[in-house]
Amino acid sequence: MDQTGLQVVGLVWHEFLSSDPVREIRWAQQLAENSPVPMSIVGLVDFLAPDLEKRLDAYALCRNVAAVREHLGWDNENPLRRFAKSPDLLTDSRWLDGLKRLARYRLKCSLEVFSSQLPDLLKVARMNPDIGFTIALMGWPRTTDKLEFTRWKQCLAALSTCANVRIVISGVECIFGMNWSLPEVQPWIQTVFKVFGTKRIMFGSHRPICGLSSTFPKPYAAYEKMTDGLSLSEQDAVFRLNAADWFFSGLPLSKGTGLDVPL
- What is the number of structural domains in the chain? 1
Is the pLDDT reported for residue 207 higher than 80? no
Whole-prediction pTM = 0.91
Q: Is residue 194 part of a domain?
A: yes
Tens of pLDDT, residue by residue over 156-167, are 999 999 999 999
Largest CA distance in the chain: 49
Q: Is residue 250 part of a domain?
A: yes
Q: Note down the domain range covering 139.
A: 8-260
Q: Is residue 150 part of a domain?
A: yes
Q: Is residue 101 part of a domain?
A: yes
Is the pLDDT reported for residue 261 higher than 80? no
Q: Is residue 1 part of a domain?
A: no
Q: Is residue 66 part of a domain?
A: yes
How does 222-261 read in b/e, with b if 16+ C-beta sit within 10 Å? bbbebbeeeeeebbbbbbbbbbbebbbeeeebeeebbbbb
pLDDT at 204: 86
Mean pLDDT of the residues in the chain:
90
Tens of pLDDT, residue by residue over 55-109, are 999 999 999 999 999 999 999 999 999 999 999 999 999 999 999 999 999 999 9
pLDDT at 179: 86
Q: Is residue 2 part of a domain?
A: no
> What CATH number did the domain enclosing 73 receive?
3.20.20.140
More confident position, 210 or 224: 224
Tens of pLDDT, residue by residue over 4-39, are 567 888 999 999 999 999 999 999 999 999 999 999
